[in-house]
Amino acid sequence: MILGLGNDMIDIRRIEATLDRFGDRFVSRVFTAVEQTKSDRRAQRAASYAKRFAAKEACSKALGTGLRRGVYWRDIGVINLASGRPTLELTGGALRHLNSITPPGYEARIDLTLSDDFPWAQAIVIITGLKTGDDR
């Protein structure tokens, strides 16, 4: 069953300007260590951060909270599987909220897709409830 759906688009130039203006203060407030390592290695650094920023907003919509109600930016972190496929790791308030929308006997699976085509970056998140023990 679908528990949540969210998307977000952001202008990469907005993130570029924020990186120029606030630098590490912005990066360390919003992005996890894994996201920083990934994006700082990329030639398209601002686009990489923009996709991850969009992923956080998309996930906050899928959770139904927005980035409020105890859900903070770094509670929602993009990780990449060995294949390159992205997914999200939730902690803190975001994880607590995910657990609260997951019915008993179900576990939550989060699917994420990211895309960028300058100046746009986009993310879509689907949260699915799988009966415990079901194949993924």
Ligand X SMILES: CC(C)(COP(=O)(O)OP(=O)(O)OC[C@H]1O[C@@H](n2cnc3c(N)ncnc32)[C@H](O)[C@@H]1OP(=O)(O)O)[C@@H](O)C(=O)NCCC(=O)NCCS
Tell me: does residue 8 bind ligand X (CB under 6 A). Answer: yes
Least Å from the CB of residue 95 to ligand X: 17
Measured between alpha carbons, how far is 131 from 25 in angstroms, rounded to an integer?
41
Site for ligand X in 64-123 (CB under 6 A): 64-68
* Contact residue for ligand X among 38, 52, 61, 97 (CB under 6 A): 61
* Closest CB to ligand X among residues 20, 134: 20
Alpha-carbon span 134 to 131, nearest angstrom: 5
Q: Tally DSSP H helices, then E strands, for the chain.
A: 5, 5
Taking each helix axis from N to C terminus, what angle separates 45-63 and 92-101, rounded to the nearest 10 degrees?
Answer: 40
Residue whose structure tokens are 């920023």 = 53
Measure the CA–CA gap between 41 and 70, rounded to whole angstroms: 31
- Could you tell me the smallest distance in angstroms from the CB atom of residue 29 to ligand X? 8
- What's the min distance (Å) between Cβ of 38 and ligand X? 21
**Stretches 61-69, 101-109, 114-122, 128-136: which one binds ligand X (CB under 6 A)?**
61-69
CB of 77 to ligand X, least distance (A): 16
Cα end-to-end distance, the chain, whole Å: 13
In the complex with ligand X, the residue whose CB is nearer, 47 or 67, is 67
List contacts with ligand X (CB under 6 A).
8, 57, 60-61, 64-68
